[in-house]
A and B are shown apart, each in its own frame.
Chain A
Amino acid sequence: NAGVTQTPKFQVLKTGQSMTLQCAQDMNHEYMSWYRQDPGMGLRLIHYSVGAGITDQGEVPNGYNVSRSTTEDFPLRLLSAAPSQTSVYFCASSYSGGWEFFGPGTRLTVL
Chain B
Amino acid sequence: GAVVSQHPSRVICKSGTSVKIECRSLDFQATTMFWYRQFPKQSLMLMATSNEGSKATYEQGVEKDKFLINHASLTLSTLTVTSAHPEDSSFYICSALRTSGRVDEQFFGPGTRLTVL
Chains A and B bind each other: no
Q: B residues near A, CB below 8 A?
A: none
